[in-house]
Amino acid sequence: MLQTLKHNLKAVYARTYVRVISTFREPEWILTESLIPLLVVFAAATLYRVSGSEQLAGFAVVGGAMMAFWDNVLWLMASQFYWEKESGNLDLYIIAPISKMSILLGMSVGSIINTSVRAVLIVLIATYVLNIRVNVADPLAVLLVFVMTMSALYGLGMLMSSLYMLYGRGAYNLNDILSEPVYLLSGLYFPTIGRFSPFPWVVQFLASLIPLTFGIDGLRRTIILGQTVSEILPHIGVLSILSLVLIPLAWRTLIFMENLGRREGRLSLRWI
């Protein structure tokens, strides 16, 4: 049991190390991958400021920073097993004496570290250039919302990676389908839940099923509005429930998809 735990922890470290080191060996990647979110942030924040809303300008900055995490979940986390399958490395993961969840966990931790650097860069540049007023009254509240958001969001990424592993290019096309609707519903451009939302309660309820929605709203409340832990307990509760549902579901789905792929011979590329 102890030996198995050590192997899995080493797998987590190995996958985290690769993700982190590969980014910092190419520092220009951080700048180039921050450029598009910055342009979106400048456009939205300037529009809100012209309309006379300083708070919404700050909301746009937080939303633009979180855009990097959603892109990372879609294009790196969820797609990873598909790319490994295409390159022929998935067979090595299957026969390795470790849990596949440890591989996904390592990918998640490495992705969170990498993307956090880009998100912080976006926030710093945008707040300085646009002179956004930041009001952090409770740093613990910011940390709690961020950690719970990452837990739920990358739990969703683990679940999607299980589907991509088996269905490959068919599921891969979901990236293009999901990108913009999630941008809209999760509140990257403007608040989609709460009193600032322009949507009816039905749309707000559907949007709240996306982990990113409550995460962005919670961060906006703690970073821009200065709310404390006691004021954002509903956000922490919802994000905790989403984490408790998505992570075990990802684990079960991964086992089911792996067993199904073994029976049908769909985990490896077929050379004809």
Distance CA 19, CA 178 (A): 24
The rounded average pLDDT for each run of 10 residues, N- to C-terminus, in the chain (272 residues) is 80 84 73 74 81 78 84 75 74 77 82 83 83 86 91 86 70 73 81 81 86 89 89 90 90 79 63 46
pLDDT given at position 261: 66
pLDDT given at position 272: 45
pLDDT given at position 264: 63
The residues, any chain, with a CB within 8 Å of residue 127's CB and separated by 6 or more, are 61, 134
3-state helix, strand, coil in the chain (%, to 5): 80, 0, 20
Q: What is the DSSP letter of 193?
A: S
Contact assessment for residue 171 and residue 113, using Cβ atoms and an 8 Å cutoff = no
pLDDT given at position 14: 85
